[in-house]
Amino acid sequence: MEFCTVGPEDLETIAIISEQHLTHGKKILEEIRHHRNLKDYFGVKAVEKGEMIGFYTCIENDIVFTLPHPEMKSLIEKMTAGEKTITGDTLYVKPAWRGKGIASELARRVTAMARERDGKYFLTEAWIHPEGVTPAKKIVVFNGEVIFEKIIPFFYRDLSKYGMECPICGKDCRCGAQVQLHRL
Ligand SMILES: CC(C)(COP(=O)(O)OP(=O)(O)OC[C@H]1O[C@@H](n2cnc3c(N)ncnc32)[C@H](O)[C@@H]1OP(=O)(O)O)[C@@H](O)C(=O)NCCC(=O)NCCS
């Protein structure tokens, strides 16, 4: 297995996997496809025998959540004060490959890339399932020192207003989010 930089040829696969497993709906497909030229977008993938088995992608120079959260956005903007901020976008490892430290390694590598790009902050939005499990909790720790954290229940409640659905709850999403700002 090897780790490589995400290229334009990977975006369609990332878009389709994200739509199936992270957030259902056309919006996520459009958003990821929109990054085709890789301007302000980068990531790392794990590859086994030519197959992408995991990825962690990021958006550069923008504070973005899965769906609009203007108050949280303006709070983060105040804290980052115009300094370069990288937002974690999609993180996924195929089920057969989970539990082997792949996501942790993707996070370490994406964080190194964010530093090379002169990022000063890294924003993460980790999904909290309705029963309280936060799959990325132990992974986002690799995105830098946590200087702010907020746990927001029902963070995805309005997903359907934006043409999306939760892969766990459907239209009526009860998942929360752990929003963290990391210093790079
Ligand atoms: C979350 C995900 C990327 C983890 O990938 P992975 O390669 O198995 O993660 P790692 O092996 O690096 O695990 C790192 C740590 O996180 C923990 N962890 C991994 N998946 C977890 C889960 N679903 N629930 C709780 N903890 C989890 C591991 O137990 C491990 O802890 P340890 O260091 O104490 O052993 C993968 O389960 C996935 O793609 N899930 C579906 C999509 C998703 O939830 N993405 C995150 C959205 S914010």
Q: What's the gap in Å between 103 CA and the centre of ligand 1? A: 7
Mutate which of 58, 111, 138 for ligand 1 pocket (most atoms within 8 A of beta carbon): 138
Tell me, which fold does domain 2-183 have in CATH? Aminopeptidase (3.40.630)
Q: What's the gap in Å between 53 CA and the centre of ligand 1? A: 14
pLDDT, residue 35, reads 83
The protein residue whose alpha carbon is closest to atom 36 in ligand 1 is 93
* N-terminal to C-terminal alpha carbon distance within the chain: 27
Q: Where are the domains of the chain?
A: 2-183
Mean pLDDT of the 64-69 span: 95
pLDDT at 123 over 90: yes
Q: Count of CB atoms within 10 A of residue 16's CB?
A: 13
CB 55 within 8 Å of CB 14: yes
The Cα–Cα gap between 20 and 26 comes to 11
pLDDT at 178 over 90: yes
pTM over the 0.85 mark? yes
